[in-house]
Amino acid sequence: MDLQFNGYVFISEVEAGYEVYNTKTKEESIIPKPKFVHGQFVKPSSKHYSQKDFTRVISPSYTDNRGWVYGESYCDIYGNPGGTGYWIEEDLFEPLTDPILLLYAERLKHIEVIKNHETIVAQRRDFLNKIYFSLDIIAPKWREQFKI
C-alpha cells in the first residue's frame, strides 16, 4: 500500500475505508479510500486543462485540512517526462477510459519495468567485472584453468 497518512497511524483496511488512529486527538476514526491509487494513470477531466495526455498518480497522502492530496508525474503518449506536481481536487482528473490511452499507459509500465531490469543487470555486470579483476590480480591464469 503506497498511501501516506499525515498525523495518523494506519490500523487496518475496512470496507468503508481505512481505520486509523489520530495521533493528535488520540481517537480512532475511518478515513475514506482515495479515488486514485499509486501508479494509476489518469487523464484531466473537463474541469481541468493539461498539456499532457495523461498523468500518473504518485503516493496519495491524507491530511486533515485537505483530505486526499495526490502527487502526479506528468507523461505523454511518447513517454516524455514532464515534471511532477500535486493536486487536491479529485474531480480535476478521471480514470483513463480511452482504449488507445490505456494501451499507451500499459506500454509505459512495461518500459519502466524493462529499464529497472536493465539497471539491475548493469549493476550485476559491474560486480562481476570487479570479481574478474580481483581474480586476474590474485590468480592471473584462472581463465585458462576454467576455460573462460
Round the average pLDDT of the chain to a whole number and report it: 84
Pairing state between β 54-63 and 8-14:
unpaired
pLDDT at 131: 93
Residues of the chain with pLDDT > 70: what percent? 93
pLDDT at 2: 67
How far the first Cα of the chain sits from its last, in Å, is 46
Closest-CA residue to 8 (of 56, 68, 58, 57): 68
Per residue in 110-136, pLDDT tens?
988 999 999 999 999 999 999 989 988
